[in-house]
Homo-oligomer: A and B are copies of this chain.
Amino acid sequence: MSLYTQRIENVRTQMIKAGVEALVVPGSDPHLSEYLAEHWKIRDWLSGFNGSAGTLVITRDQAGLWTDSRYYLQAEAQLRDSGIQLFKEGLPNVPDYIKWLSGQLSGGSKVALNGTCSSAGHVKEISQKLQSESIALETHHTLAEDVWENRPALPADFVKIHPENLAGLGLPKKMELVHQQIKKTGATHYVINALDEIAWVLNLRGSDIPYNPVFHAFMVISLRETLLFVDQKKLPRNVQEYLTAQGVKIKPYANIYHHLTGLPADAIVFTDPARTNFALVSALQKKIVKKEGTGIITRLKGVKNRVEIQNVKHTMQLDGAAMVRFLIWLEQNVPGGRVTELSAARRLSDFRAENEGFTGESFATISSYEAHGAIVHYSVTPQSDVPLKSEGIYLIDSGGQYLTGTTDITRTVALGPVSEQAKTDYTLVLKGHIALATAIFPRGTRGVHLDILARQFLWNHQLNYGHGTGHGVGYFLNVHEGPQSIRPQDNGVELEAGMVTSNEPGLYRSDQYGIRIENLILTKKVSENEFGTFLAFETITLCPIDTTLIKTEMLSAKEKEWINQYHREVYAQLTPALNKEEAEWLRERTGELK
Interface residues of A (CB under 8 A from B): 439-442, 444-445, 448-453, 456, 459-460, 462-464, 488, 490, 510, 526-527, 529-532, 534, 556
Contacts and interface: CB of A to CB of B under 8 A. Distances in A.
13 contacts: A439-B459, A440-B460, A440-B462, A441-B452, A442-B459, A442-B464, A448-B448, A449-B488, A452-B453, A459-B534, A462-B532, A490-B490, A510-B530
Closest 6 CB pairs of A and B: A490-B490, A464-B531, A462-B534, A440-B459, A449-B452, A463-B531
Nearest to A527: B462
A278 to B, nearest CB: 24
Nearest to A451: B449
Q: Which of A440, A444, A456, A531 has the most CB of B within 10 A?
A: A531
Contacts of A529: 462
Instruction: Kindly report how many copies of this chain are found in the complex they form together.
Output: 2
A534 B464 CA distance: 10
Nearest to A526: B462
A185 to B, nearest CB: 13
Nearest to A458: B531
Contacts of A532: 462, 464
A75 B251 CA distance: 60
Contacts of A488: 444-445, 449
Contacts of A556: 556
Contacts of A459: 439-442, 534
Contacts of A449: 448-449, 451-452, 488
A interface secondary structure, majority: mixed
Contacts of A534: 459, 462
Contacts of A452: 441, 449-450, 452-453
Contacts of A440: 459-460, 462
A464 B441 CA distance: 9
A88 to B, nearest CB: 16
A463 B533 CA distance: 10
Contacts of A451: 449
Given A439-B456, A462-B527, A462-B529, 5 more contacts: A440-B459, A449-B452, A452-B452, A459-B534, A462-B534
A293 to B, nearest CB: 15
Contacts of A510: 530
A408 to B, nearest CB: 25
- Residue of A448, A456, A459, A534 ringed by the most chain B CB atoms within 10 A: A459
A461 to B, nearest CB: 8
Contacts of A526: 462
Nearest to A534: B462
A449 B454 CA distance: 12
Nearest to A488: B449
Given A439-B456, A452-B453, A453-B452, A531 B462 contact: yes
Nearest to A441: B459
Contacts of A444: 488
Contacts of A442: 459, 464
A451 B445 CA distance: 11
Contacts of A445: 488
A317 B462 CA distance: 31
Contacts of A441: 452, 459
A312 B460 CA distance: 27
Nearest to A508: B531
Contacts of A531: 462-464
Contacts of A464: 442, 531-532
A462 B452 CA distance: 19
